[in-house]
């Protein structure tokens, strides 16, 4: 090996060592000042927390491959917890009125100049191991956030999502390329819920929507005390069971042809089945399209005045 090459190798090795020492020193300084170069570690997993309590958030936007999401209203302060995501392999923005979490799925996506250069530093590649534990995102919202929130968008490959105690005038859109499990308890919005995933499994308790739309190959809905003005369900197979504080005769109903059973208002109906609202001004429309899925719609009477 030429002397010049040896010199360059030695210089390169010294630079690497110096870089690692610099990272170590910088981490100690950052921690002393209350900042972390890496997420907190706990039982082999990682945790990152960002507070946005003073911001009137209007949009939550989450995009990743596989994870669990919990959105909880009624909190004293607004913040996001990111658990067990690999450092440096996601972008989190809480600036302005938007909270955006976007996963970096591969090295190539770091160099997507159309959406901005995403490289965050060589220090993250010194921790190449995926953290232990389920990847999870917890979002807590205070009254300032819920008063201003207008959009929640989730895009994933596989996602388990839970929304609790949230009252906001916001459209909620959840899209998955493979499967989506969505549970909502105490979710009240005068806007729309849109779900699009090949396998969709939805469970609702004490919820209010202006409109609910689901497009799936295998679709399941179990809803107890769900108010809605518009319901549009399209699924090849599955089972839909809804009890609602509504008067069914106030709705235009269209149940398409198919093999599955249709029980509307406690009565088995032939398929296809349609009924026009008896009210002069219909509350809304109910549409169900499926070749094999069954549907059961039961009203809870007397119907209370719709909430928000």
Q: What pLDDT is attached to residue 219?
A: 97
- Maximum distance among all Cα pairs of the chain, rounded to whole angstroms: 94
169 and 28 in a common domain: no
User: How does the average pLDDT of the chain come out, rounded?
Assistant: 84
Q: Are 241 and 205 in contact (CB under 8 A)?
A: no
130 and 52 in a common domain: yes
Instruction: Pick the closest to residue 296 from 246, 262, 245, 251 (CA basis).
Output: 262
Confidence of residue 166 (pLDDT cuts 50, 70, 90): very high
pTM over 0.85: no
The region that residue 74 occupies, defined by phi over 0 for left and psi between -120 and 50 for alpha, beta otherwise, is left
Do the domain assignments include residue 85? yes
Q: What pLDDT is attached to residue 103?
A: 87
For residues 214 and 200, what is the distance between their CA atoms, to the nearest angstrom? 8
Q: What pLDDT is attached to residue 179?
A: 97
Q: What pLDDT is attached to residue 277?
A: 96
Do the domain assignments include residue 258? yes
103 and 17 in a common domain: no
Q: Are 67 and 178 in contact (CB under 8 A)?
A: no
Do the domain assignments include residue 75? yes
Using DSSP, state whether 115 is helix, strand or coil. coil
Q: What pLDDT is attached to residue 95?
A: 79
Q: What pLDDT is attached to residue 88?
A: 75
85 and 23 in a common domain: no
25 and 63 in a common domain: no
Q: What pLDDT is attached to residue 109?
A: 46
Mean per-residue pLDDT for 285-300?
A: 95
Q: What pLDDT is attached to residue 125?
A: 46
28 and 65 in a common domain: no
The string of pLDDT tens digits covering residues 228-243 is 999 999 999 999 999 9
Q: Are 153 and 59 in contact (CB under 8 A)?
A: yes
Is residue 20 over pLDDT 90? Answer: no
Q: What pLDDT is attached to residue 35?
A: 46
156 and 103 in a common domain: yes
Domain count, the chain: 2
107 and 15 in a common domain: no
Confidence of residue 2 (pLDDT cuts 50, 70, 90): low
Q: What pLDDT is attached to residue 105?
A: 60
Instruction: Pick the closest to residue 100 from 159, 39, 152 (CA basis).
Output: 152
Domain region containing 8? 1-37
Do the domain assignments include residue 306? no
Do the domain assignments include residue 307? no
Between 31 and 102, residue with greater pLDDT: 102
168 and 54 in a common domain: yes
Q: What pLDDT is attached to residue 131?
A: 55
Do the domain assignments include residue 305? no
229 and 84 in a common domain: yes
The string of pLDDT tens digits covering residues 74-113 is 999 999 999 988 877 789 988 788 999 998 765 544 444 4
Do the domain assignments include residue 304? no
Strand partners, 153: 61, 173
The proportion of the chain whose per-residue pLDDT surpasses 90, expressed as a percent, equals 66
The string of pLDDT tens digits covering residues 106-148 is 554 444 444 444 444 444 444 455 556 789 999 999 999 999 9
Between 271 and 45, residue with greater pLDDT: 271
Do the domain assignments include residue 292? yes
Confidence of residue 4 (pLDDT cuts 50, 70, 90): confident
269 and 249 in a common domain: yes
213 and 168 in a common domain: yes
Kindly report the backbone phi and psi dihedral angles of residue 32, in degrees, each rounded to the nearest multiple of 5, phi listed first. Answer: -65, -30
CATH number for position 102: 2.160.20.120
The tokens describing 126, both together, are 């010194």
Between 47 and 117, residue with greater pLDDT: 47
């Amino acid at each position: 090996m030429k002397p010049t090459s040896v010199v360059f190798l030695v210089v390169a090795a010294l630079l690497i060592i110096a870089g690692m020492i610099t990272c170590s020193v910088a981490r100690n300084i950052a921690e002393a000042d209350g900042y972390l170069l890496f997420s907190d570690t706990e039982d082999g997993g990682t945790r990152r927390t960002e507070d946005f309590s003073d911001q009137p958030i209007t949009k939550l936007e989450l995009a990743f491959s596989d994870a669990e999401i919990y959105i909880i209203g009624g909190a004293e302060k607004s913040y996001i917890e990111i658990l067990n995501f690999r450092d440096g392999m996601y972008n989190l923005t809480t600036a302005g009125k938007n909270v955006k979490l976007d996963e970096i799925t591969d090295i190539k996506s770091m160099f997507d100049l159309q959406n901005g250069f995403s490289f965050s530093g060589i220090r993250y590649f010194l921790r190449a191991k995926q953290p232990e534990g389920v990847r999870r995102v917890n979002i807590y919202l205070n009254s300032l956030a819920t008063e201003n929130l207008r959009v929640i968008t989730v895009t994933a490959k596989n996602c388990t999502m839970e929304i609790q105690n949230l009252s906001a005038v916001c459209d909620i859109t959840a899209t998955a390329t493979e499967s989506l499990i969505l549970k909502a308890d105490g979710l009240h919005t005068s806007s729309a819920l849109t779900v699009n995933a090949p396998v969709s499994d939805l469970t609702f308790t004490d919820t209010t929507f202006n409109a609910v739309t689901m497009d799936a190959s295998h679709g399941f809905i179990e809803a107890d005390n769900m108010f809605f003005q518009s319901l549009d369900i399209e699924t090849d197979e599955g089972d839909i069971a809804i009890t609602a504080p509504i008067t069914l005769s106030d709705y235009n109903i269209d149940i398409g042809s198919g093999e599955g059973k249709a029980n509307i208002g406690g009565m088995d109906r032939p398929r296809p089945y349609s009924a026009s609202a008896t009210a002069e001004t219909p509350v809304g429309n109910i549409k169900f399209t499926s070749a094999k899925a069954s549907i059961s719609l039961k009203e809870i009477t007397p119907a209370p005045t719709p909430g928000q």
